């Protein structure tokens, strides 16, 4: 201890210099009394033996003073204080221990006591009498109680009461009361957050036939599995009355839950809070959720019901949209993203669902458009209502933005749960597998009767899919958009597969711009999430016409080639009937690396059909035939061409078809091929990414 003086006959207690911050200084007064500067009273000192020794030593010293007749009071008339009082405990060399401060002092000046005088040349407290403290241990508890009462009686009037260690029994009750109060506060805050914009707005939401955000989450998830994130966060903006409209959660509910026992991330916009307008807080909460879901690998479900950007927040709202779009893009191909449109979605807000994998809309209540009817009327003079402009039917059949349409919200939730049952949680997992069920095996013999005898007669390709896949397992995607193509998910012996097919019952199954976009996007999604692709082909070619050419049928048709060529999952194709020209090449042909190509006996594989080929190849020959015999000669030439060029065995002999099979064998052969190629691995050419003709 720096600048300290050890005890001596002249200074029996010594002096102690001030200590570092948090310690307390001790000084010796001129009359020999020790004073602790800044020591709180009462103060506990560790070591019962030391306390007992000090008290005994003090009693012996006072006894000697009385024998000499020195009196028991100091010159000021103050009653002397026992050295066992915490204010008089000091450090002396290595004998004393620095006090452990437990509370603050309530006095400006700590009372002091006269120090003992030297007797027979010895400092007070030394020599034979110093053994007496050892015999005083039995009086420790009684002396401590006396000192406590003395100290209480000496507290100046009006000074704050000192803490009483004997009253600690009241603390557990105080803690309990405080815990109860905090629990009540949590419950109250939760209740407020669950009210959203208030009961009046909740009632208005119900009057429109719509549920609230929390009701929607509760219905789509497994019971009691929702774990909410950031329910109390509020916006920080002012102006236009925003400072008076702060709501817990700020109009969006985010969190995690389970669907059929599988983890999902979910968020729902709350229309009762400022119309569900997208804000800076929306961006923060949803962004954190998407980041967590992407890194953890589980699907993202968006329940959208919003008027668009929160205009009052200006650029902060727009910046939030940008961040959301970026996160949608980062999650694309990593985890499935499904958007449920349960109300309006206008302006820039529509690009978020546009970036997701599947969009589900409800009839009558959901709308999507960049500019609303009022803006269109002002700018162009066109009169259009919201349903025609951006309703469910418009986007399901016209634009292709919507993949599914539900009659109401409950149907949308059930549809979403079914869709998820076909999808893996992320791009590393395999799709969910169900145990094989013999009761789901279709009547495969009926496949022999699917194709009409005449190649000019249409049929519904969904009948063929239903007789190949497990019964009742086919879930069609984008049913109303580009109906000349059929895409969807199904199961084969419990395993998920993606079906792509031409639809002869609509436009004879030709490929046009919309069908090309529909097929290419579905192939790319299936490949991204490890779902094998089965293609059923009956296509006479691409749709001719100046309109298609001018709108870019070449560019759009190239998307199908790109998607099939890029896909690395197992690919199986079956030519049912027609496979002509460029349509045969782009529809999963052997040359674009399809793993197994089958053909039915009714397959026609050629550059074009017999009629067109005969008109070109035998034009001069037919012109030289008598008009009365020309039709018969044409029929003969067509049959000859069919046998020579269009037979599936011709393609099989060239190696472009792996096998010609009976229709009834299709389910078994496709299932076996998928089982064989389930562990398929491919080597990619090193590159940053390709440049698909968008």
SS3 letters across 366-391: CEEECCCHHHHHHHHCCCCCHHHHHC
Determine how many CB atoms are found less than 10 A away from the CB of residue 217. Answer: 23
Residues forming a β-bridge with 339: 302, 359
Residue 660: enclosing H or E segment and its boundaries?
Answer: strand 659-660
Which of 98-112, 526-540, 589-603 has the weakest average pLDDT? 98-112
- pLDDT band (50, 70, 90) for residue 361: very high
pLDDT in tens, 615-653: 888 888 888 888 898 888 888 888 888 888 888 999 999
pLDDT at 105: 39
pLDDT at 180: 58
Residue 51 pLDDT exceeds 80: no
pLDDT at 172: 53
Question: What percentage of the chain reaches a pLDDT higher than 70?
Answer: 76
Peptide bond into 420 cis (omega under 30): no
pLDDT at 138: 40
pLDDT at 133: 39
pLDDT at 612: 84
Arithmetic mean of pLDDT, 684-689: 90
Angle between helices 280-296 and 315-331 (to 10 degrees): 10
Does CATH number 3.40.190.10 belong to domain 438-603+657-676? no
pLDDT in tens, 400-442: 999 999 999 999 999 999 999 999 999 999 999 999 999 999 9
Residue 608 pLDDT exceeds 50: yes
Dihedral (CA of 387, 393, 399, 405) sign: positive
Residue 2: enclosing H or E segment and its boundaries?
Answer: none
- pLDDT band (50, 70, 90) for residue 177: low
Which of the two residues, 492 and 282, has the higher pLDDT score?
A: 492
What is d(CA 302, CA 353) in angstroms, rounded to the nearest whole number? Answer: 8
Peptide bond into 33 cis (omega under 30): no
Is the CB of residue 497 less than 8 Å from the CB of residue 534? Answer: yes
pLDDT in tens, 553-595: 999 999 999 999 999 999 999 999 999 999 999 999 999 999 9
Which of the two residues, 3 and 339, has the higher pLDDT score?
A: 339
pTM over 0.85: no
Residue 569: enclosing H or E segment and its boundaries?
Answer: none
Which residues are known catalytic residues?
347-348, 582-583
- pLDDT band (50, 70, 90) for residue 73: very low
- pLDDT band (50, 70, 90) for residue 510: very high
SS3 629: helix
Which of the two residues, 50 and 437, has the higher pLDDT score?
A: 437
CA-wise closest residue to 416 among 496, 357, 471, 329: 357
Determine how many CB atoms are found less than 10 A away from the CB of residue 4. Answer: 12
pLDDT at 347: 85
pLDDT in tens, 212-268: 999 999 999 999 999 999 888 887 777 787 778 888 888 899 999 999 999 999 999
Tokens standing for residue 532: 């094998």
SS3 170: helix
Tokens standing for residue 294: 């992407």
Provide the b/e sequence for 571-581 (b: ≥16 CB within 10 Å).
Answer: bbbbbbbbbbb
pLDDT in tens, 269-281: 999 888 888 888 8
- pLDDT band (50, 70, 90) for residue 48: low
- pLDDT band (50, 70, 90) for residue 70: low
Arithmetic mean of pLDDT, 48-72: 71
191-420: which CATH architecture? Alpha-Beta Complex (3.90)
Residue 552 pLDDT exceeds 90: yes
DSSP state of 87: G
pLDDT in tens, 108-138: 443 333 333 344 434 444 444 444 433 443 4
Which of 25-29, 321-325, 529-533, 683-687 has the weakest average pLDDT? 25-29
pLDDT at 30: 47
Report the chain's C-alpha Rg in angstroms: 45
Which of 145-159, 249-263, 305-319, 381-395 has the weakest average pLDDT? 145-159
pLDDT in tens, 366-391: 999 998 898 899 999 999 999 999 99
Arithmetic mean of pLDDT, 459-477: 97
Arithmetic mean of pLDDT, 460-486: 97
pLDDT at 217: 96
Place of tokens 């009693």: 59
**In the chain, where does the domain assigned CATH 3.90.226.10 lie?**
191-420, 438-603+657-676
- pLDDT band (50, 70, 90) for residue 534: very high
- pLDDT band (50, 70, 90) for residue 471: very high
Q: State the chain's mean pLDDT as an integer.
A: 81
Which of the two residues, 124 and 598, has the higher pLDDT score?
A: 598
Is the CB of residue 411 less than 8 Å from the CB of residue 431? Answer: no
pLDDT in tens, 178-213: 555 666 788 888 888 788 788 988 999 999 989 999
What is d(CA 341, CA 303) in angstroms, rounded to the nearest whole number? Answer: 6
The count of C-alpha atoms lying within 13 angstroms of the C-alpha of 634, restricted to the half-sphere facing its C-beta, is 17
Question: What percentage of the chain reaches a pLDDT higher than 90?
Answer: 54
Angle between helices 213-220 and 409-420 (to 10 degrees): 40
């Amino acid at each position: 201890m720096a600048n300290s003086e050890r005890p001596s006959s002249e200074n029996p207690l010594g002096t102690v210099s001030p200590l570092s911050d948090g310690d307390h200084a001790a000084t010796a007064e001129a009359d020999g009394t020790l004073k602790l500067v800044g020591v709180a009273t009462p103060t506990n000192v560790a070591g019962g033996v030391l306390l007992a020794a000090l008290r005994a030593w003090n009693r012996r010293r006072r006894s000697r003073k009385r024998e000499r007749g020195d009196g028991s009071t100091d010159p000021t008339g103050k009653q002397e204080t026992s050295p066992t009082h915490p204010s008089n405990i000091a450090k002396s060399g290595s004998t004393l221990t620095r006090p452990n401060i437990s509370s603050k002092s309530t006095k400006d000046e700590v009372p002091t006591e006269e120090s003992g005088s030297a007797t027979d040349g010895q400092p007070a407290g030394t020599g034979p009498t110093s053994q007496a403290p050892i015999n005083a241990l039995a009086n420790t508890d009684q002396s401590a109680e006396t000192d406590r009462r003395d100290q209480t009686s000496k507290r100046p009037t009006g000074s704050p009461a000192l803490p009483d260690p004997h009253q600690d029994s009241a603390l557990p009750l105080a803690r309990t009361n405080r815990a109860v109060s905090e629990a009540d506060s949590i419950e109250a805050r939760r209740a407020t957050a669950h009210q959203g914009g208030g009961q009046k707005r909740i009632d208005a939401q119900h009057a429109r036939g719509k549920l609230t955000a929390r009701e929607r989450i509760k219905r789509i998830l497994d019971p009691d599995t929702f774990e909410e994130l950031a329910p109390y966060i509020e916006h920080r903006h002012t102006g236009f009355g925003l400072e008076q409209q702060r709501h817990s959660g700020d109009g969006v509910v985010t969190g995690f839950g389970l669907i059929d026992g599988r983890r999902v991330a979910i968020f729902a916009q709350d229309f009762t809070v400022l119309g569900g307008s997208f804000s800076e807080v929306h961006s923060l909460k949803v962004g954190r959720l998407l980041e967590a879901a992407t890194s953890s690998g589980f699907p993202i479900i968006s329940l959208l019901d919003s008027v668009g950007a929160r205009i009052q927040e200006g650029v902060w709202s727009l910046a939030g949209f940008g961040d959301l779009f970026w996160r949608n893009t980062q999650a694309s191909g990593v985890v499935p993203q499904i958007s449920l449109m349960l109300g309006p979605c206008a302006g820039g807000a529509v690009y978020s669902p546009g970036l997701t994998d599947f969009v589900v809309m409800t009839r009558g209540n959901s709308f999507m458009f960049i500019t609303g009817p009022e803006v269109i009327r002002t700018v162009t003079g066109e009169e259009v209502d919201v349903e025609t402009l951006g309703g469910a039917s418009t986007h399901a059949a016209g634009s292709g933005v919507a993949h599914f349409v539900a009659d109401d919200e409950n149907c949308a939730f059930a549809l979403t749960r079914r869709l998820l049952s076909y999808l893996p949680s992320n791009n590393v997992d395999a799709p969910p597998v169900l145990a094989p069920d013999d009761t789901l095996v279709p009547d495969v013999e009926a496949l022999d009767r699917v194709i009409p005898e005449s190649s000019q007669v249409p049929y519904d390709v969904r009948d063929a899919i239903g007789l190949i896949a497990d019964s009742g397992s086919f879930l069609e995607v984008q049913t109303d958009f580009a109906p000349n193509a059929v895409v969807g998910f199904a199961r084969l012996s419990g395993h998920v597969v993606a079906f792509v097919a031409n639809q002869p019952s609509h436009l004879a199954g030709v490929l046009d711009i919309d069908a090309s976009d529909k097929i290419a996007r579905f192939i790319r999604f299936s490949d991204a999430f490890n779902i094998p692709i089965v293609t059923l082909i009956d296509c006479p070619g691409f749709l001719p016409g100046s309109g298609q050419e001018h709108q870019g049928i070449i560019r759009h048709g190239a998307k199908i080639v790109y998607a099939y060529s890029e896909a690395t999952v197992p690919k199986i194709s079956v030519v049912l009937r027609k496979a002509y020209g460029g349509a045969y090449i782009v529809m999963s042909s052997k040359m674009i690396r399809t793993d197994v190509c089958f053909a039915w006996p009714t397959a026609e594989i050629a550059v074009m059909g017999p009629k067109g080929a005969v008109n070109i190849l035998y034009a001069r020959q037919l012109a030289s035939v008598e008009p009365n015999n020309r039709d018969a000669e044409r029929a003969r030439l067509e049959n000859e061409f069919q046998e020579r060029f269009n037979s599936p065995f011709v393609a099989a002999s060239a190696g472009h078809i792996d096998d010609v099979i009976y229709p009834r064998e299709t389910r078994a052969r496709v299932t076996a091929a998928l089982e064989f190629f389930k562990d398929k691995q491919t080597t990619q050419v090193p590159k940053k990414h390709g440049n698909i003709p968008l």
